[in-house]
Structure 1
Amino acid sequence: MTALHPQPTSTSTPARPRRTGAGVLVGVLLAVLAVASLFIGVSDVSPVSLLSGDSDGTAAFLLVASRIPRTVALVLAGASLGIAGLIMQMLVRNKFVEPSTTGVTEFATLGMLGTTVVVPGMAVVGKTAVAAVFGLVGTWVFLRVVRAVPVRQLVLVPLVGIMLGGVVGAVTTFFAYRLDLLQSLMQWSQGSFAGVMQGRYEFVWIAGAMVVVAWVAADRFSVIGLGEEFATNLGLDFRRVVAVGMVVVAVITAAVLVTAGLIPFLGLVVPNVVSLLIGDNVRRAIPWVAVLGAVLVVACDIVARTVRFPYEIPLSVVVGVVGAVLFLWLLLRRRSRAH
């Protein structure tokens, strides 16, 4: 007679293979969207025209000078803005913040307006640097305000940032109106990659470089997301890591703003979706956030180019609608889980 030993049962699912499969699927989706983006537009740039070799080489020229730079800029902007939102959420320890809901974008826009007024002929690299400095100041101001104002509910933190951004945006609009620069201000406020071409998108690679910096410091960002006291007890220089995060957020915001303008909600919804899938580990989340952010931006840009073809609507409109819907869903989901 043999003794009966209870056999361990497991109802866990193979999460890692499923994540790997999902990652491969998202990567393939990004590749398909990027290839489709190369051949969508008013001018005839298609595989047939490229392979047939038209006499004047117009299709090949447009592909190299316009379509490829635009697609690369879309991928870099989507990936970097998603990472900026992820880092901002770690700095504030709040899932409902990103540069466009904390006043960082408005401060960077104010810096752009200042360079246009004071030094109208400044090179793009100078404008990017000034916008980054103003964005850095905006990040610091928001962090100081959040620390000074006791906020108990998570959803109130982005409201504080939106109010701060509203004040700065009102000041920017006032000076733009008085100086007859409202048209330039509207151009920065409506994100669009229609004017991106070879020689006018290279600074978005700076935002891509900031993604690498975020990847190197990913574990430190995960630790500071647990709080200053916890990070200090582990021997981490909390202020230095926060400073690195502020620089990453400011530079990404400035580089994308100078290249294409404002793209709202992207850094808010993408990190939250990734957090629902794989958790809050920054090192594991960065590749997912980067790829999903790029997928969202490229897909929305394709929609913006095809909805009213041959005309094009601003990318920020499409991203804003999609992002707002996802933001409301996240808010309702959080509220339903709280009860």
Structure 2
Amino acid sequence: MSVALAGLVLLSAASLVVGVAELDTNVLLHSRVPRTLALVLAGSALAVSGQIMQLLTRNVFVEPSTAGTMEFATAGLLVSTLFFPGAPVVVKMCFGAVAALIGTAIFLRVLAAVPLKDMLVTPLVGMMLGGVVSAGVTFVAYRADLVQSLSSWTTGDFSAVLAGRYELLWIAGALTLLAALLADRFTVAGMGEAFTTNLGLDHRRTVMIGMGVVAVVSATVVVTVGALPFLGLVVPNIVRNTIGDNCRRAVPWVAVMGAGFVLACDLVSRLVIHPFEMPIGTVMGVVGALAFLVILLRGRR
């Protein structure tokens, strides 16, 4: 853990000094520090959310971007923009969280009705569900002339993060701490309803708490910086292959490595076409897709 923390500190320091503008106190306090904090909070929260979803669904290929959760959160943001265009960001986040929770419940309901003979069926169901929702959201956004807003929600980008425009992510950070406190419950719930009930734990309530954490984190990240694909898939699987499935032991590792992964991808996005910058969602999509294929092939073997 000390090595992982040291790596996180080095990546954070690099994030503070890399950029086009000349570094001074004003740039540091109003741009670089908020951006680095946003990267750490979003990365750790989404990575832990992926771990929770994988435990509760008992499938290592599930995370918010492969379960339709991100797409439903985007749909909630679109609804709030259509009917309450002047609403504060917190209200939009609430719409996104409710929609994400509904979408996750639909995903779990579909899984309960589909015979799962292969682990790959679960993420395929989630991707198909997310694709249908995404298509509908894109159509509505096009008719309402909100395609630009939709693009900002579906593509992760930290370039616009400034002081006063990222603070909602502290909610995601607080929920990450809550997940760490409830780690043992999530570990037990991941062993099945019968086993959980025999130990005197309410399985349904635990699953609802876990999915509620995932929904709020997803909505908070989407409304603040956009979607970050594959983060909750790659990091928990790397940690699982290293230290095992115990949630309490793995949560700190997942949080630190998730933050480090996002910081590293952000540095790549800022340097690859310097002095310009590409969206971090593009970099994470490429890296995450390659990592997903590696995990998939290893699982097949």
- Could you tell me the TM-score, scaled by structure 1's length? 0.88
* Secondary structure in structure 2 of the residue aligned to 1:161: helix
* Separation in 1, partners of 2:51, 2:40: 17
**Structure 2 residue aligned with 1:221:** 186
1:157-176 paired onto structure 2 within 5 Å = 157-176=122-141
* Secondary structure in structure 2 of the residue aligned to 1:99: coil
**Structure 2 residue aligned with 1:131:** 96
> Which of residues 29, 32, 41 in structure 1 aligns to 2:7?
29
Give, in angstroms, the shift of residue 331 of structure 1.
0.4
Does 2:283 correspond to 1:305?
A: no
* Separation in 1, partners of 2:288, 2:5: 21
* Separation in 1, partners of 2:55, 2:106: 16
**Structure 2 residue aligned with 1:43:** 21
The CA RMSD measured in Å over matched residues stands at 0.6
Does 2:210 correspond to 1:232?
A: no
> Which of residues 90, 96, 99 in structure 1 aligns to 2:61?
96
> Which of residues 120, 132, 135 in structure 1 aligns to 2:85?
120
* Secondary structure in structure 1 of the residue aligned to 2:65: helix
Extract structure 1 runs of 4+ deviating beyond 2 A.
none
Give, in angstroms, the shift of residue 123 of structure 1.
0.3
Unaligned 5+ runs, structure 1: 1-22, 46-58
Which residue identity is paired with 2:147? L
Task: Give per-residue Cα distances to partners, 1:276-308, cap 9 Å, x unaligned.
Answer: 000000000000000000000000000000100
Give, in angstroms, the shift of residue 230 of structure 1.
0.7
Percent identity over the alignment is 56
1:307-322 paired onto structure 2 within 5 Å = 307-322=272-287
**Structure 2 residue aligned with 1:152:** 117
**Structure 2 residue aligned with 1:287:** 252
Does 2:160 correspond to 1:195?
A: yes
**Structure 2 residue aligned with 1:180:** 145
**Structure 1 residue aligned with 2:297:** 332
* Separation in 1, partners of 2:289, 2:116: 23
Give, in angstroms, the shift of residue 90 of structure 1.
1.2
Which residue identity is paired with 1:301? D
* Separation in 2, partners of 1:167, 1:43: 42
Give, in angstroms, the shift of residue 205 of structure 1.
0.5
Aligned residues between the structures:
301
Does 2:83 correspond to 1:83?
A: no
* Separation in 2, partners of 1:129, 1:187: 18
**Structure 2 residue aligned with 1:49:** none
1:252-271 paired onto structure 2 within 5 Å = 252-271=217-236
**Structure 2 residue aligned with 1:14:** none
Give, in angstroms, the shift of residue 246 of structure 1.
1.0
Which residue identity is paired with 1:153? D
Task: Give per-residue Cα distances to partners, 1:63-101, cap 9 Å, x unaligned.
Answer: 000100000000000000000000011111100000010
> Which structure carries more relative contact order (alpha carbon 8 Å, separation 6+)?
2
* Separation in 2, partners of 1:120, 1:236: 42
Give, in angstroms, the shift of residue 329 of structure 1.
0.4
Task: Give per-residue Cα distances to partners, 1:239-289, cap 9 Å, x unaligned.
Answer: 110110011000110110011001000000100000000000000000000
* Secondary structure in structure 2 of the residue aligned to 1:100: coil
Does 2:152 correspond to 1:207?
A: no
- Could you tell me the TM-score, scaled by structure 2's length? 0.99
Give, in angstroms, the shift of residue 328 of structure 1.
0.4
**Structure 1 residue aligned with 2:106:** 141
1:235-250 paired onto structure 2 within 5 Å = 235-250=200-215
**Structure 2 residue aligned with 1:111:** 76
* Secondary structure in structure 2 of the residue aligned to 1:101: coil
